[in-house]
Amino acid sequence: MGTLPPGTSPSDLSLILERFHADRIPMSALCERLRAASGDLSSLHRIQAPISVPPSDCAQRPPRPGSADRRALEAEGTAALLRGELAVVILAGGMATRFGSTVKALATLPYPGDPRFLDVKLDDVRRWDGAVPAVLMTSFATHDAIAKALGPRSRVRLAPQFVSLRVTSTGELFLTRDGNPSPYSTGHGDLPEALQLAGVLGELRREGVRTVLVSNVDNVGATIDPALYAMHRRSGAKISVELVSKATGDRGGLPVLRDGRLVLAEAFRLPGAFPDEAFPLFNTNTLWIDLDALEGEHPWTWCVVTKKVEGREAIQFERLIGELTWWNRTAWLHVEREGARSRFLPVKEREDLTRLRDQLCAMLDAQRRPDGHRSANPTEERLTQGRDQERHSHF
């Protein structure tokens, strides 16, 4: 979201900045660093420590579906799920600018009943009959629309990420043609603080939750999988990161070897000569994170991101949730990318809905199949706006 809605007054903006914790962003210090960089903006987030490409077999593949090993994992994970030890966190702060600037979570999918991204994600939670709490990390651009869509009786918890104002490359306040500041959300690295400030982290711990499954709202393949949850628990790691085989054109996060251990790094933070194309796996931004890893203070990197607003360059500072792997023992899971069992099918542009329609429909069919093809306790009901408001009370 690059511009404020028409009619937004300075007092309205002030309320947005206060409500969504703009005071948590160290803007003065960040702008000082920006000016000191003398135009080399990537130096502010480029990884300086020696790093190298990890072995291609660093991620563990789950056992084959239907195998004895897989069934043992499923039983173990299911038992933990039914004890209430897992919660789901859905990252839902994005505006679907490529879908007509609607709230991405509320955009519809080409599937019978016209479910929205959020409906599909919460359907997955409902299959566990109330055993799995759901949390949405919203933003100033999506929070109120999502809260309205859920309804006043919803049990889904909301934890908004933070807001800040874009600046110029010299650290001055960026103003639109109308003379207004340009607000933005400061990245999914806000998650630990957002959960704490909303009181959600403490509530989950008191309820006996040990781990959260974090995924993007537009990746409907990232479902609750008891076998993967059991693999995470058996690993002894505080975080497990899901990776998929890299496809042509993929450019994003990957594990790198840093100081003898694997950490997650985004491609734009790598030194220019780093051969990231040599590593065959790709980060899905689906993570199993123990609550312990979400607590405590960490030296987060504020990455510099350049955006075009009204055709002009604007700077924003963001944190990335994957940086938690730098401070916590992490395991790596090589999950399926193809077919109905895919755990990674992000939809970033409207054209993706047409291109991926067949696979998307096969995935959603499998998730609703009563033979438990994807998960236990499936149901054919969907959360859709305006349908059976009573069902929202289950969340």
Let me know if residue 261 belongs to a domain. yes
Residue ranges of alpha helices (H) inside the chain are 10-19, 27-36, 68-82, 117-126, 143-150, 191-197, 200-206, 226-235, 350-355, 357-367
In b/e form, how buried is each residue of 10-39, taking b as 16+ CB within 10 angstroms? eeebeebbeebbbeebebeebbebbeeeee
**Any residues with CB less than 8 A from the CB of 160 and at least 6 apart, and which?**
19, 20, 21, 93, 137, 138, 139, 140, 143, 194, 198
- Structural domain contains residue 60: yes
Nearest to 213 by CA among 54, 342, 86: 86
Q: Tell me which DSSP letter residue 90 carries.
A: E
Percent of the chain with pLDDT strictly greater than 70: 90
Closest listed residue to residue 155, CA positions, set 135, 140, 139: 135
User: Quick one: pLDDT at residue 248?
Assistant: 82
Residues 244/298, Cβ–Cβ less than 8 Å = no
Checking if the pLDDT of 6 tops 60, the result is: no
Average of pLDDT values for 4-33?
87
d(CA 230, CA 248): 31
Question: Quick check: 337 pLDDT over 60?
Answer: yes
The 10s digit of each residue's pLDDT in 306-317 is 999 999 999 999
Note the pLDDT of residue 260: 87
173 DSSP assignment: B
CA angle 283, 285, 290 (to 5 degrees): 115
Q: Which residue has the higher pLDDT, 249 or 2?
A: 249
Question: Which band of pLDDT confidence, cut at 50, 70 and 90, is reported for residue 393?
Answer: very low
The contacts of residue 223 (CB under 8 Å, 6+ apart) are 124, 343, 367, 374, 375
Residue 171 CB partners (closer than 8 Å, separation 6+): 31, 32, 34, 35
Predicted confidence band at 335 (pLDDT cuts at 50, 70, 90)? very high
Domain count along the chain: 1
Question: Tell me, what's the pLDDT at 378?
Answer: 34
Q: Is residue 341 part of a domain?
A: yes
Residue 391 lies in a domain: no
pLDDT by residue (tens digit) across 268-308?
Answer: 999 988 988 889 999 999 999 999 999 989 999 999 999 99
Task: Residue 126: give the domain boundaries.
Answer: 10-47+55-370
For 67-81, 182-196, 366-380, which range has the lowest pLDDT when averaged over its residues?
366-380
pTM: 0.91
Calculate the alpha carbon distances from 27 to 155, 224, 298 in Å: 35, 37, 18
Look at residue 340 and tell me if it is in a domain.
yes
CA–CA dist 360, 98 (Å, integer): 19
Instruction: Answer whether residue 380 is part of any domain.
Output: no
| C-beta separation of 184 from 1 below 8 A | yes
Q: Is 210 helix (H, G, I), strand (E, B) or coil?
A: coil
Instruction: Tell which wins on pLDDT, 171 or 381.
Output: 171
* 251, HSE (Cβ side, Cα atoms, 13 Å): 6
Per the CB < 8 A criterion, the answer to whether 121 and 246 are in contact is: no
> For the domain that residue 33 is a member of, what is the CATH number?
3.90.550.10
Q: What gap in Å lies between CA 348 and CA 98, rounded to an integer?
A: 8
**What number of other Cβ atoms are within 10 A of residue 77's Cβ?**
24
CB 109 within 8 A of CB 115: yes
Please check whether residue 286 lies inside any domain of the structure. yes
Considering the domain boundaries, does residue 378 fall inside one? Answer: no
The predicted pLDDT at position 381 comes to: 36
Per-residue pLDDT reduced to its tens digit, 41-88? 999 999 988 999 999 899 999 999 999 999 999 999 999 999 999 999
Q: How confident is the model at residue 384 (pLDDT cuts 50, 70, 90)?
A: very low
Provide the pLDDT for residue 277: 85
Query: Can you tell me the mean pLDDT for 108-131?
Result: 94
- 167/370: higher pLDDT: 167
